[in-house]
Amino acid sequence: MPSYPTEVEVRRALIQRVNDYARATGLAITTISRMAVNDSRYLGKVRAGGNFSMRNYTRLMEFFDTNMPANEERPRRRTNGKRRGR
């Protein structure tokens, strides 16, 4: 009999991808949420245990697959809004 992931496993996978993308891009979770599903609070709610549909899960995972920067292209996070080294 095939084994399917549980809701907890799917949630963990989604949150891990969100965290990876945030770390790779230096973007806030609210910004990522707005870019991916046009709702700045959506991913915060999911991270806090809120419900999500498989449609949005798929939409988010496709967003991350399409937009995840390559390792060598990951930007550094700027803390003061200025370019470093200039």
Per-residue pLDDT tens over the stretch 21-64: 999 999 999 999 999 999 999 999 999 999 999 999 999 999 99
CA dihedral 45, 50, 56, 60 (to 10 degrees): 50
Question: Which residue matches tokens 């449609």?
Answer: 55
Residue 85 lies in a domain: no
The pLDDT of residue 72 is: 40
Residue 76 lies in a domain: no
The pLDDT of residue 57 is: 93
Range of the domain at 15: 7-67
Backbone angles phi, psi at 81, to 5 degrees: 80, 0
Residue 22 lies in a domain: yes
Distance separating alpha carbons of residues 40 and 34, to the nearest angstrom: 4
Residue 34 lies in a domain: yes
Residue 42 lies in a domain: yes
Overall number of domains in the chain: 1
